[in-house]
């Protein structure tokens, strides 16, 4: 058996299939249309395709157990026996217990879903209690290893590492259980070794964030223990999404045979490695090809960086910076992209070729590498936009005094105390989706489509009037997605046809690509908003997606700082705000649900990010008159480090998710002296449940106790697009009635 790591690898590969086959199969299983056996056979076919693809591309170290029916963190929870009792006792099959944890069943809500580090992927949060009994369940990694072996392909099973697993878990001090958990990993590793596994990959990305000395010590202890096992595969600890810092030294104290470093997001890793002293024959797996973005690599620069690592370590392997889970499957499926754009792109399949080439060039020094791409085409430059940005002054990001604004706005809006509103979208019914699909396919003319959408806007306005809401919305029926909608209308953006990326479970997104200077050709939302306003005398709130969220949910050009691209987007939004205002719209909401998720993992980098993020939002929203009310909406209730940034956005009203956290966020806002309008969500829209009237009243009373009533707004937690009309009507009725009741008391 060979024990060398190999020369080239990827840390993971998309598992959804080139045509989202996994999504379709899993959803068919949930709907009862196919059985477990049919689902498993699709899964086996998809896995085999991935291994063959990697093998045929001449990658010589191939991962397995990167397939998942839902999520790799959930898979790891199962592999260590961390199935909470509340699911185990349902008495379901292993597969259905798994899906019950992922999606919930009637009696049991699912595990919590949350963002995977600073990506747009969501994992299921393990629930660990002081009496969770960890036991190894190696069936899945062993099964995948055996399946690949049967195809003649030797693989390296991948698991989330024990320290990261617990750092991501929730419960009563989960990390205190590390020593117990490591014993389950020890059993897993022994079982893998007995099946002939030569290498295992344990992912520890949690260590590219700031960690306490105790947490770093625990990492050292865990891998010392695993390293001392007499029967085990060789251990590759993979890290990604940033630089490892002090944790690198801790890993070097242990017997692990390979360490993976992200040299794209964490170039500092090289200096750390150089300073670390002798590496003791270890393999350094150099993440030289960006696994997060979709641009072709500069292969010569990658080889140069690889050569530096090779000068420090006895063995170097080339890899992607992180799993390719975060990029679309195959560029060759895109036939409609502008060739000047597509020649600059690499999706997962293309990135594998890049890794192989860099690996080969590093070894033989003679492999010819494709020339780097020429500079950004001048056609993608927009000198007018650049000129405007260069001429900006600090006052362009500043509104007038809040007290003056608030008075002017109230004069124009005449709102009651505790005004009621919604976050923007109303249910996206099957008919609406069908109309959009028909329009895209050319089966519905532009005029008919517009008519259909106008009818929907009218329906939504009438409904809100009937319910008695104070600030109305048009309902966003024309928007497929809050980023894509703007991307389709702005210069500098390209849309893919098949560029799907897993977001969570069976849910995939198709992020647009920002390749050039961003500019607005024509107004993007004015027609819909003014049409809605023409139907009612109540104020209608215009609805835009903020610059940070547009960047966060797109693939962004890497040839200029993010801050510059954010400002270009902000300028387009500023013009849109201005046009809405000129058309008589008195309230504009600029959504920033992604403000927090893109926060850098290391505290040292957060200030810079928040500075440009806030500056871009303010550029977008400061061009309006004092009497125009700017709202923003944020989709989380624990602000952590971004709390002061929320104040700095200087929006007149901030609506936030708050119902699940029982309004805790209001205390956080009070603590930093936030003094403008706030709309804590009083209805958790993430489930179809209708909140009873009394519950909304209670939430509101709690809010009134924390915030002066004149600053308080009444709204749901988020948009209503995933809900159905019956529950929306009932819930909004309760919300309006509760506001009236609390207002009168």
Residues in 553-592 at the binding interface with ligand GLN, rule: CB under 6 A:
591
Residue 635 as a binder of Zn ion (CB under 5 A): the answer is yes
Restricted to residues 525-544, the positions that interact with ligand GLN (CB under 6 A) are 543
Q: How far is the CB of 722 from Zn ion (least distance, A)?
A: 11
205 binds, among ligand GLN, Zn ion, none (CB under 5 to 8 A by kind): none
Q: Which residues contact 726 (CB under 8 A, 6 or more apart)?
A: none
User: Over the Cα atoms of the chain, what is R_g?
Assistant: 27
Q: Which of 420, 719, 723, 742 binds ligand GLN (CB under 6 A)?
A: 719
The response to whether 199 counts as a known ligand-binding position is: no
Nearer to ligand GLN, 520 or 633 (CB): 633
Which span sits near Zn ion by CB under 5 A: 92-100, 343-351, 364-372, 629-637?
Answer: 629-637
Of the candidates 537, 612, 619, the one whose C-alpha atom is nearest the C-alpha of residue 578 is 619
Q: How far is the CB of 272 from Zn ion (least distance, A)?
A: 39
Among 635, 712, 732, 735, binds ligand GLN (CB under 6 A): 635
Report helix, strand or coil for 132: coil
Those residues with Cβ within 8 angstroms of residue 672's Cβ, 6 or more apart along the chain or in another chain = 643, 644, 647
Residues in contact with 662: Cβ distance below 8 Å, sequence separation at least 6, in sequence order: 699, 702
Give the per-residue contact string, 707-736, with Zn ion (x = CB under 5 A; - = no).
Answer: -----------x------------------
Identified catalytic residue from 315, 686, 693, 734: 686
Q: Which stretch binds ligand GLN (CB under 6 A): 307-315, 500-508, 716-724, 735-743?
A: 716-724
Q: Do 265 and 241 meet the contact criterion of CB atoms below 8 Å apart?
A: yes
- Asked if residues 64 and 198 have their Cβ atoms less than 8 Å apart, the reply is no
Q: Give the list of residues 6+ apart from residue 698 with CB closer than 8 angstroms, or none.
A: none
120 binds ligand GLN (CB under 6 A): no
398-427 binders of ligand GLN (CB under 6 A): 423-425
Integer angstrom CA distances of residue 30 from 102, 488, 501, 645, 713: 12, 33, 21, 41, 39
Per-residue contact string for residues 478-517; x = within reach of ligand GLN by CB under 6 A: ----x-----------------------------------
Q: What are phi and psi of 542, to 5 degrees?
A: -70, 155
Question: Can residue 477 be called a binding residue for ligand GLN (CB under 6 A)?
Answer: no
**Out of Zn ion, ligand GLN, none, which partner does residue 482 contact, by CB within 5 to 8 A per kind?**
ligand GLN
Structure tokens given for 139: 């069936």
Question: Three-class SS of residue 517?
Answer: strand
**Is 55 in the active site?**
no
Q: Is 723 in the site for ligand GLN (CB under 6 A)?
A: no
> Least CB distance from residue 576 to ligand GLN, whole Å?
14
- Give CA–CA dist 50/45, Å, rounded: 9
Question: According to the annotation, is 635 in a ligand binding site?
Answer: yes
- Find the shortest distance in angstroms from Cβ 482 to ligand GLN: 5
Residue nearest to ligand GLN (CB): 719
Distance of alpha carbon 580 from alpha carbon 523, whole angstroms: 9
- For residues 295-354, which are near ligand GLN according to CB under 6 A? none
Report in angstroms the alpha-carbon separations of 307 from 9, 261, 262, 300. 17, 14, 15, 10
Torsion angle, alpha carbons of 210, 212, 217, 218, to 10: -90
- In the chain, the largest separation of any two C-alpha atoms, in whole Å, equals 81
Length of the chain: 745
Question: Can residue 646 be called a binding residue for Zn ion (CB under 5 A)?
Answer: no
Instruction: List binders of ligand GLN among 264-293 (CB under 6 A).
Output: none
Contact 279, 252 (CB under 8 A): yes
Residues noted as catalytic: 686
Q: Which residues bind ligand GLN (CB under 6 A)?
A: 423-425, 476, 482, 543, 591, 593, 633, 635, 718-719, 721
Binding residues for Zn(2+): 633, 635, 657, 718
């Amino acid at each position: 058996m060979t024990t060398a790591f190999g020369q080239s690898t990827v840390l993971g590969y998309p598992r959804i299939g080139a045509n989202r086959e996994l999504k379709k199969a899993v959803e068919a299983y949930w709907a009862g249309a196919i059985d477990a056996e049919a689902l498993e056979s699709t899964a086996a076919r998809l896995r085999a395709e991935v291994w063959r693809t990697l093998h045929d591309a001449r990658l010589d170290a191939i991962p397995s157990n990167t397939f998942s029916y839902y999520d790799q963190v959930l898979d790891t929870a199962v592999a260590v026996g961390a199935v909470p009792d509340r699911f185990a006792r349902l008495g379901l099959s292993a597969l259905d217990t798994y899906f019950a944890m992922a999606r919930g069943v009637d009696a049991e809500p699912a595990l919590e879903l949350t963002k995977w580090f600073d990506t747009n992927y969501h994992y299921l949060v393990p629930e660990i209690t002081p009496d969770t009994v960890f036991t190894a369940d190696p069936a899945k990694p062993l099964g995948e290893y055996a399946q690949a072996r049967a195809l003649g392909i030797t693989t390296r099973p991948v698991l989330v590492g024990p320290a990261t697993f617990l750092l991501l878990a929730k419960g009563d001090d989960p990390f205190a259980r590390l020593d117990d958990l490591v014993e389950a990993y020890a059993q897993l590793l022994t079982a893998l070794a007995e099946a002939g596994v030569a290498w295992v990959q344990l992912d520890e990305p949690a260590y590219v964030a700031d960690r306490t000395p105790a947490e770093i010590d625990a990492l050292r202890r865990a891998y010392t223990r695993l390293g001392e096992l007499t029967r085990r595969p060789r251990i590759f600890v993979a890290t990604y999404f940033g630089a490892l810092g002090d944790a690198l030294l801790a890993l070097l104290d242990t017997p692990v045979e390979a360490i993976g470093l992200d040299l794209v997001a964490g170039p500092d890793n090289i200096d750390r490695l150089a300073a670390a002293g002798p590496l003791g024959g270890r393999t350094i797996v150099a993440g030289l090809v960006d696994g997060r973005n979709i641009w072709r690599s500069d292969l010569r620069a990658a080889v140069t960086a690889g050569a530096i690592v090779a000068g420090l370590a006895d063995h170097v392997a080339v890899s992607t910076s992180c799993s390719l889970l975060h990029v679309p499957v195959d560029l060759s499926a895109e036939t409609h992209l502008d060739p000047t754009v597509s020649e600059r792109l690499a999706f997962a399949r293309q990135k594998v070729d890049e890794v192989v080439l860099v690996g080969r060039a590093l070894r033989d020094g003679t492999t010819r590498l494709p020339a780097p791409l020429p500079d950004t085409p001048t056609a993608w430059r927009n000198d007018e936009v650049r000129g405007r940005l260069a001429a900006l002054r600090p006052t362009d990001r500043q509104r007038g005094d809040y007290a003056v604004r608030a008075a002017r706005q109230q004069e124009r809006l005449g709102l009651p105390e505790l005004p009621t509103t919604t976050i923007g979208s109303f249910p996206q019914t099957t008919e609406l989706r069908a109309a959009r699909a028909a329009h895209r396919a050319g089966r519905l003319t532009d005029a008919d489509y517009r008519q259909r959408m106008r009818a929907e806007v009218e329906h939504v306005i009438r409904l809100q009037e009937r319910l008695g809401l104070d600030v109305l919305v048009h309902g966003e029926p024309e928007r497929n997605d809050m980023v894509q909608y703007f991307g389709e209308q702005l210069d500098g953006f390209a849309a893919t046809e098949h560029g799907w990326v897993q977001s969570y479970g069976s849910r995939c997104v198709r992020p647009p690509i920002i390749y050039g200077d961003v500019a607005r050709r024509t107004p993007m939302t004015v027609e819909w908003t003014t049409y809605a306003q023409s139907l009612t005398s109540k104020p209608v709130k215009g609805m835009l997606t903020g610059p940070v969220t547009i960047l966060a949910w797109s693939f962004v050009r890497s040839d200029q700082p993010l801050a510059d691209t954010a400002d270009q987007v902000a300028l387009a939004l500023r013009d849109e705000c201005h046009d809405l205002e000129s058309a008589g719209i008195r309230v504009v909401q600029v959504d920033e649900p992604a403000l927090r998720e893109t926060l850098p993992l290391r505290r040292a980098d957060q200030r810079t990010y928040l500075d440009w993020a806030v500056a871009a939002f303010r550029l977008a929203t400061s061009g309006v008159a004092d009497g125009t009310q700017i709202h923003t909406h944020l989709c989380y209730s624990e602000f952590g480090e971004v709390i002061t940034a929320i104040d700095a956005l200087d929006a007149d009203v901030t609506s936030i998710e708050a119902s699940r956290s029982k309004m805790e966020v209001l205390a956080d806002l009070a603590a930093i002296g936030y003094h403008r309008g706030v709309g804590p969500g009083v209805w958790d829209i993430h489930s179809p449940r209708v909140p009873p009237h009394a519950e909304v009243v209670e939430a509101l009373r709690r809010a009134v106790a924390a915030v002066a009533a004149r600053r308080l707004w009444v709204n749901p937690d988020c948009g209503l697009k995933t809900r159905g009309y019956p529950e929306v009507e009932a819930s909004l009725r309760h919300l309006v009635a509760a506001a009236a009741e609390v207002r009168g008391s």
